Amino acid sequence: MRRRTLLQLAAAAAASPALPRPARAQTYPAHPIRLIAGFPAGGQIDIIARLTAQWLGQALKQTVVVENKPGAGGNLGAEAVVRAPPDGYTLFFAASSNTVNTTLFAHLSYDFARDTAPVGPINRIPLVLEATPSFGPKTVAELIAAAKAKPGAISMGSPSAGTPPYLAVALLKMMAGIEVVQVPYFGESQMITDLLGGQLPVGIGGISSAIGHIKAGRLNALGLTTPARIEQLPDVPAIAETIPGFAASGWSGIVAPKNTPEPIVATLATAIRTIQADPQFKERLADLGAPLFSLPPAEFDTFIVSETQKWAKVIKFAGLKPQ
């Protein structure tokens, strides 16, 4: 009887479709995901990371927990993800600074473009070329003409060396062929104060800190560093309309460790597209001065490589030394 029963069970098993092992039956994601942010809590990158984590968790039907690992301009957080298992459960909320740091830091233990698996960008962080109302030039073309007429006569502010606005000034100098005196500030708020007070004629900074003053007429917006105009300031031209190819906005996005399986990357990329298609998510980003930025993984990979190469040239042009 025992032998007959075993034979019957074996025959039934052969006739029925093979069932996956319990471990294989678990579809990704089967448990909470860590999303590491390379900057402290409370800043723009952290705020957008937490907003993204909340909506991404809903799309994936799994908890996404933001973990802050600040330090070295985002390098510590990036390194933690590069060293993590490529299983989709440790992700990095990358920023434009990570492509800059590849050149700006001489002894990184990893290569950001090589050692990560791009999933998708989330948003841009627009920068604006802004001036005190008493500043003569009212357009990018007029600014370039004034700078060429009197090289070194115009002072242009920005936050400190290595930040996206600082490099945007350097890129403007390089692509427009002008010479201005760059004035780096420790923080953006002091630069805005000096612009409002007329102590500084012109500068480049984040749109979030300037948009209220621009709409109130306390500052003039000469141009945006995004490739095209944005909804928040539809009447302000992109600098690229005067200097073709100019683009220097910051950005945020999600990457995974290198060798993360393609199905996992695809699942995450689909979830990102889902939340970016939600008007409420788009509105929340817009309120933060951070318009949507969407690319599939392969194009995001190409974008990261091109950004790394571009900022390497700008850093060399600006004479910034690796730290």
- The position carrying tokens 């927990």 is 65
Please tell me which residue, 9 or 150, carries the higher pLDDT value. Answer: 150
Average pLDDT on 120-143 reads 96
Work out the angle between the directed axes of helices 96-104 and 75-82 (0-180°, nearest 10).
90
Instruction: Give residue for tokens 């939600």.
Output: 278
The closest alpha carbon to 293, from 243, 237, 227, 206, belongs to 227
Q: What integer pLDDT is reported at residue 12 of this predicted model?
A: 43
Highest mean pLDDT, choosing among 22-26, 94-98, 236-240: 236-240
The three-state secondary structure class of 129 is: strand
Q: What is the mean predicted confidence (pLDDT) over 198-207?
A: 95
List domains and CATH numbers for the chain.
32-125+250-318 (3.40.190.150), 127-241 (3.40.190.10)
Report the first-to-last Cα separation within the chain, whole angstroms: 78
Mean per-residue pLDDT over the chain, rounded: 90
Whether the pLDDT of residue 168 is over 60: the answer is yes
What pLDDT is stored for residue 178 in this prediction?
97
At 30, is the pLDDT very low, low, confident or very high (cuts 50, 70, 90)?
very high
Give the span between the Cα atoms of 45 and 55, in whole angstroms: 16
